[in-house]
Amino acid sequence: MVCPVSSPPIRRGVIVLDSDNTVVEVRGPLEKEEANIEYYNGILIPSFVNAHCHLELSHLKGVFPTHLGMAGFIETITEKRDADESFIDHAIQSADRYMFDSGISLVGDISNGASTLRAKANSKITYHTFVEAFASDRNDAQKVIDEKKLIVEEAHRLNLLASMTLHAPYSISPQLVSAFAKELTHTDMISFHLFESVEEIDYMENNAGPLAALYKKQCRKENALSQWGVNPYSNIFNAIPSENKMLAIHSGQITEAYLALLQNRFKETWFVLCPKSNQYIHNQLPPFNFFRSNSEKIALGTDSLASNNTLSILEEMKSIGSSNSNIAFEEILRWATLNGARALGQDSVFGSFEEKKKPGVLLLTGIDTINPILSETTKIRRLV
């Protein structure tokens, strides 16, 4: 079976590729066997899109305990992030190869520094690097933006897709957002960690809870939250240009009111869910059906190896399939392919089997082609 994603599945379907693996034609069903066609048992799908990753944290695989919560995770990453440069570089290259081999061809990757750029320049994967800015102290705002601009420029010199983004509402000052907004073009995307946990919302709305306690313990010179006044989320969104595409990352605790606020503010809002990371840190999955009831713009990410045991979109799909959410395979596949490509602005190349696209071809096995349900026996093999 062939799943073009942009159109219904085709039993005994055929994908015709040219010499550089561009799609020439998708047709079927095939009535009888033809010469010069390769036949496979399973489901042919486009390669995956990982819409949210932190490749630079790959050296932290297995370092963090599970279920730390947001404050515990932030405190631990502050303590354990540093490592030998060669060790970090090896982990980055290994994770990049693993993602490609596991069927991923396009990645939206968060970077605080330039450590991943060399690996990306030599990768078989297409990356959009979001160079992440954060600073609570208003006096650091312009310095941080200038530093991040240099990383974006370095990425561009290596012919990589890259732009600046913001980290999260609890780590940015109004001065930082203002300086950031001046650097945006109308085509830039914003990849923003939002509504990730109860701890985040308790901190943002009430200046209370474990996150507030952590910041007090760290004796921060200036608290970003205190600078945003009443209704901090709304004030932050209003400070970001509305014509830019918003990728809301995680958003596992978003309310209907906040979801509407995002959708009404920005011309285009995508919700990028990272199910296994949510389980790893918070011991719960995102509310899949809540998002489905409010938006069709849902994509998938893996987050980092600091908060996940693998950078596999197939494993993210399996976690959704086993969540009792009753979501059809075709819909989960769309989140993992075409929706991610659209979110990252790369759907002219990736995400579906359509003429003139070059999405890569994967073979899913261990899955019923009549009633496809993902299970532990489902495997992936990259064909193109």
User: What pLDDT, in 10s, does the model give residues 91-138?
Assistant: 999 999 999 999 999 999 999 999 999 999 999 999 999 999 999 999
How confident is the model over 312-323, as pLDDT tens digits? 999 999 999 999
By the 8 A CB rule, do 363 and 44 touch?
yes
> Which whole-number Å values give the CA distances from 47 to 272, 312, 321, 380, 384, in the listed order?
17, 12, 18, 10, 9
pLDDT at 222 over 90: no
Q: Are residues 19 and 126 in the same domain?
A: no
pLDDT at 224 over 90: no
Average pLDDT over residues 203-210: 95
Q: Are residues 301 and 366 in the same domain?
A: no
Phi first, then psi: give them for residue 327, nearest 5 degrees. -100, 130
Q: Are residues 178 and 314 in the same domain?
A: yes
Integer Cα distance of 154 and 257 in angstroms = 40
Q: Are residues 103 and 220 in the same domain?
A: yes
pLDDT at 221 over 70: no
- What domain range includes position 319? 48-344
Q: Are residues 89 and 159 in the same domain?
A: yes
Q: Are residues 314 and 235 in the same domain?
A: yes
Q: Are residues 37 and 59 in the same domain?
A: no
Q: How many structural domains is the chain composed of? A: 2
How confident is the model over 134-176, as pLDDT tens digits? 999 999 999 999 999 999 999 999 999 999 999 999 999 999 9
Given pLDDT bands bounded at 50, 70 and 90, which one contains residue 360?
A: very high
Q: Are residues 164 and 273 in the same domain?
A: yes
Name the 3-class secondary structure at 84. Answer: coil
Residue 31: the pLDDT is 84
Integer Cα distance of 148 and 330 in angstroms = 39
Q: Are residues 302 and 232 in the same domain?
A: yes
How confident is the model over 299-350, as pLDDT tens digits? 999 999 999 999 999 999 999 999 989 999 999 999 999 999 999 999 999 9
How confident is the model over 47-73, as pLDDT tens digits? 999 999 999 999 999 999 999 999 999
Q: Are residues 194 and 103 in the same domain?
A: yes
DSSP codes of every residue in 226-286: GGS-SSHHHHHHHHS-TTSEEEEEE-TT--HHHHHHHHHHSS-EEEEE-HHHHHHHHSS--
Side chain identity at residue 40, one-letter code:
Y
- What integer best gives the mean pLDDT of the chain? 96
Residue 226: the pLDDT is 86
Residue 366: the pLDDT is 97
Q: Are residues 37 and 126 in the same domain?
A: no
Q: Are residues 368 and 234 in the same domain?
A: no
Name the 3-class secondary structure at 73. Answer: helix
Q: What is the CATH number of the domain that holds 179?
A: 3.20.20.140
Integer Cα distance of 211 and 199 in angstroms = 6
